[in-house]
Amino acid sequence: MIYELDASNQSLGRLASKIAGILRGKNLPSYTPNKLSGNEVVVKNLKGAKFTGNKFDQKKYYHHSGYHSGIKARKLSELWEKKPDEVLRGMVYHMLPINRTRDKIIKNLKFN
């Protein structure tokens, strides 16, 4: 099934948890944890999503290159300006279970 969600005026974390549940198939009565549900989620109006508190200005994402003193920090506001769909995709990805199906499930998340 294809689900279309409107992200305008919704908190990003709550939206991500709702998407993760739908992608796993937890909203269906035939839910089985070890089977792929085949649900697709299309997110619309992602730029209209809201952030609670001061996360937009204060939250940082860290990445280490593997070299000495190679840690890099980026603010959420910088990432949101360039690729808001990648921010949401990362949030949903980390809400999915860590197993072989995670990479297959996240492919069913689309943006419009």
Domain ranges of the chain: 2-52+84-111
Distance CA 112, CA 65 (A): 32
Tens digits of residue pLDDT in 37-83: 999 999 999 999 999 999 999 999 999 999 999 999 999 999 999 99
Considering the domain 2-52+84-111, what is its CATH architecture? Alpha-Beta Complex (3.90)
pLDDT value of residue 47? 94
Question: Hey, is 94 helix, strand or coil?
Answer: helix
pLDDT value of residue 7? 97
Q: How far is CA 95 from CA 37, 61, 82, 90, in A?
A: 16, 16, 22, 9
Tens digits of residue pLDDT in 77-110: 999 999 999 999 999 999 999 999 999 999 999 9
Distance CA 39, CA 50 (A): 25
Phi, psi of 34 (to 5 degrees): -95, 5
Token digits for 46? 């992602």
pLDDT value of residue 4? 97
pLDDT value of residue 45? 96
pLDDT value of residue 3? 97
Do 40 and 2 contact (CB within 8 A), yes or no? Answer: yes
Long-range contacts of 77-81 (CB under 8 A, 24+ apart): 80/56
Tens digits of residue pLDDT in 19-39: 999 999 999 999 999 999 999
